[in-house]
Amino acid sequence: MTVSDKTTSDIFRNAIEALKDPLPQRVWSVIVSLFGDIAQGERDQISGVALTEVGRLMGIRSEAIRVALHRLRKDGWIESLRDGRSSMHKLTAAGRRASINATPKIYAREPVTTPGWYVICTDRDLHGDTGKTLSNAGISLSRNSFLVAENKLPDTANMLVFRASPEHVPDWARSQICPDELQQAAVTLETSLQKASSYITAPPGFDALQTTALRTLIVHRWRRIALRIPDAPVCFFPKTWRGEACQQLSSGLLDQLPAPNLPDLETAASGYRHRDLSV
């Protein structure tokens, strides 16, 4: 082990420590983040060995990876193929779609700025999925009125539509949009990302497994906040909201840690192949 190796391994250990979720992790969800980050392509697949090694670097036991893959197969996220003594895993078509849908929000570089907003009211008797569609597209203001961004407008033929610009947003509306728990999660993540950034300064020379482990933790933790940020005008967020800081820090870290090629990941993992073939 060279001095450089020692340094790289210290930096890695510190960065992993900084990025580990203070809350218990759902391993299946971490794996979804990993596939979404480096294996979203239709032909992309990752071996059980590589998944196990990346998991080990993140502090996840191989048994937990095995259980999570089982659940992901059952829920239609992942399909697995035997390949000799090992297995290859890939996103299903449905898994890919869900992953692709989430990508813009997770990897956006800038806060989304929307030029126009609409208040939409439906008839008092909401039929079918209209209410769900509308609250997913924007913010629910009441059981039958919604704030929706211009670029998310559904078919409004049967709806009452106002072009709307917010003039006054009271505290209760800010709390509804951005609950305390989400605000607190952003504050905590900002601290983690700042700490990790302070370790990963110069190009760190991580191997493909290390890079994947770090990227996965970053993407996973940011994803759990990013996907819960409602599509709302900027003035709806509290002044103390740290979502944008988290977005910038995670983008910066991912730039420092370019996604590895899958062959490089397998090569790095193959050194460990003797340890565990059973996933």
Query: Footprint of its own copies on this chain (CB under 8 A)?
Result: 117-119, 121, 123-124, 141-145, 147, 156-170, 172-173
**CB 8 to its own copies: min, Å:** 52
Q: With respect to its own copies, which residue has the nearer C-beta, 117 or 206?
A: 117
Q: With respect to its own copies, which residue has the nearer C-beta, 51 or 177?
A: 177
Residue 250 to residue 14: CA distance in whole angstroms: 17
Residue 134 to residue 19: CA distance in whole angstroms: 35
**CB 163 to its own copies: min, Å:** 5
Residue 190 to residue 247: CA distance in whole angstroms: 9
| CA distances in angstroms from 119 to 80, 147, 156, 158, listed in the order given | 45, 5, 11, 14
Residue 186 to residue 184: CA distance in whole angstroms: 5
Provide the 3-class DSSP secondary structure of residue 175. helix
**CB 132 to its own copies: min, Å:** 17
Q: With respect to its own copies, which residue has the nearer C-beta, 109 or 163?
A: 163
**CB 137 to its own copies: min, Å:** 16
**CB 228 to its own copies: min, Å:** 20
DSSP string, 63-110: HHHHHHHHHHHHTTSEEEEEETTEEEEEE-HHHHHHHHHHHHHHH-SS
Q: How many CB atoms lie within 10 A of CB 150?
A: 11
**CB 61 to its own copies: min, Å:** 44
Q: With respect to its own copies, which residue has the nearer C-beta, 12 or 118?
A: 118
Chain length of the chain: 279
Find the farthest-apart pair of alpha carbons in the chain and give their distance in angstroms, rounded: 71
User: 217-241 burial by CB neighbour count: b if 16+ within 10 A, else e?
Assistant: bbbbbbbbbbeebebbbeebbeeeb
